[in-house]
Amino acid sequence: MNQAKVVRPTHWARSHQLSPVGHADTQTANLKLHTGGLAKTKLRLKPKVRYAVIVMLGIVAIMASQLIISVFLAQGAYEINSLQRDLKESSRTAESIGEDIALLTSPQYLAANATELGMVPTRDVTFLRLSDGKVMGSLTVAGSRGPIANPKVQNQLLNQESQYLAGILGTTATIIEGETTSDSSTDSVGGSSMTTLSGTGFSEVVVGGTVSAETPNELTPVDTNAPIVSNEDSRGLSPIN
C-alpha cells in the first residue's frame, strides 16, 4: 500500500487524502465517504461557510446599494422638478424684460423722447470723418424740419395704461398723444451753410448726424430750455404739423 507521502494542505487534498491509488484504498475511501462521520462533514463545512458569508454579504450589499440609489434617484427627481420650475420662472422673466426692451427701442418711443429733448430731424446729410475730423456733406441750419409733432405712425403698446407700463415708461407714457410744442413763427437761426464736397478715398465715414437747430457748427445736444424752432419750408409748404 502506497501512502501519499506529501500531504497537500488544500481541502481537496484533505477530503481526498486517501485518494485511491490502490484497490484497498478505494474501499476505504468509499466507506469513509458514505458512512461520513462528523469529521468529514466538518471538514467540508468550514470552507463553505466562508463562501456563504461572502454571498450573503454580497446580497445585502446589492440590496443596500439599490436602496441608496433609489433614494438618490427620487431626490434627484425632486431637484429636477424644482430646477425646472426655477428655469421656467427665469425664462419668463427674461422674456418679459425682452419685451420691455423691444418696446422701448421702438422708433415711436425714441422719437417722442427726442422731441421732448428738443431735437429735430435735419434735412441735410452730414458726415463726420473720424480720421481727421472733417465734416462732409452740408450743414444748413435753415433746412431743418419741424419736430415730429403728432406722430402719424402709432404704437398701441405705448398707449396702454397698465400700471406696469407706467412704471417702465414713467412720465413719457403720454408723449405719443401729447400736443406739439413747435413755434410756428419763421425764425432762421444763424444761417451758415457749409457745403463741403468730399475729396478722394475716405478711410472712415460715420455718423449721419441729427443736428439740433440751436448750434449750427457743433454736433452737441441742444439746450432744453431754448425754444424749439420750426422753420417754414422755403418752397411754400407750411411747417410739418
Partner 1 sequence: MANNNKKQLFQVRRRQFLVLGVVLALCLPITIRLFDLQVVRANEIRTEANERRSIPVTTYGERGNIYDSDGNVLAQSVMRFNITASPRYSTNEFQRRDENNNRITVQREQAVKELAEITGVTEESITAALNAKPDSDFAYVAKSVDIEVLRQVQELGIPWLYSEQVPSRTYPKGAVGGNIIGFMSKDGPGAGVELYMDQCLAPVDGQETYERSRDGVRLPGSTIVTEQFENGQDVHLTLNADLQWYAQESLATGAKAAESDWATAIVLEIETGKVRAVAEYPTADPNNPSATAPETWTSRSFTSIYEPGSTMKTLTLAAAISSGAITSTTGVEVPPNYNFGNGITIKDASWHPVQKLTAAGVMANSSNVGTIFLSQKMSSKERYEYMLEAGFGSPTEAGFLGEIGGIFNGPGQWDKHTELATNYGQGLAVTSMQMAAAYQIIGNNGVKMPVTLVEGCVDDEGNVTHQQDAELQKRVFTEQAAKQTQDLLETTVNSSWLEPHLSIPGYRIGAKTGTAQVAERGIYGNKAVTSIIAMVPMENPQYVVAVTFGYPKNKSTAMVAPVVRDIMTQVLKTYKIQPADSNPVKLPTTW
Q: Which residues bind partner 1 (CB under 8 A)?
A: 34-35, 73-74, 76-78, 80-81, 92-93, 95-96, 99, 102-103, 105-108, 111, 122-125, 127, 136-138, 140, 145, 148, 151-158, 162-164, 195-200, 202, 205-206, 208, 233, 235, 237-238, 240
Q: Which is nearer to partner 1, 2 or 156 (CB)?
A: 156
What residues pair up with 136 in beta bridges, in sequence order? 127
Considering the complex, what minimum distance in angstroms separates the CB of residue 24 from partner 1? 18
Query: Which H or E run includes 134?
Result: strand 134-140
Considering the complex, what minimum distance in angstroms separates the CB of residue 45 from partner 1? 19
Q: How far is CA 55 from CA 36, 51, 60, 225, 227, in A?
A: 27, 6, 9, 93, 97
User: What one-letter code names the amino acid at 214?
Assistant: E
Strand-pair category, 134-140 with 126-129: antiparallel
Q: Which is nearer to partner 1, 143 or 215 (CB)?
A: 143
Q: Which is nearer to partner 1, 10 or 65 (CB)?
A: 65
Q: Which is nearer to partner 1, 14 or 104 (CB)?
A: 104
Yes or no: say if 91 and 137 are a contact pair by the CB < 8 Å rule: no
Considering the complex, what minimum distance in angstroms separates the CB of residue 31 from partner 1? 10
Angle between helices 37-104 and 23-35 (to 10 degrees): 60
Alpha carbons within 13 angstroms on the beta-carbon side of residue 2 total: 7
Considering the complex, what minimum distance in angstroms separates the CB of residue 123 from partner 1? 6
Nine-digit cell string for 36: 461520513
- In the block, cell 422708433 appears at 107
Q: Which is nearer to partner 1, 187 or 204 (CB)?
A: 204
Considering the complex, what minimum distance in angstroms separates the CB of residue 20 from partner 1? 19
Yes or no: say if 117 and 221 are a contact pair by the CB < 8 Å rule: yes
Q: Which is nearer to partner 1, 9 or 191 (CB)?
A: 191
Measured distance CA(108)–CA(160) in Å, rounded: 14
Considering the complex, what minimum distance in angstroms separates the CB of residue 57 from partner 1? 26
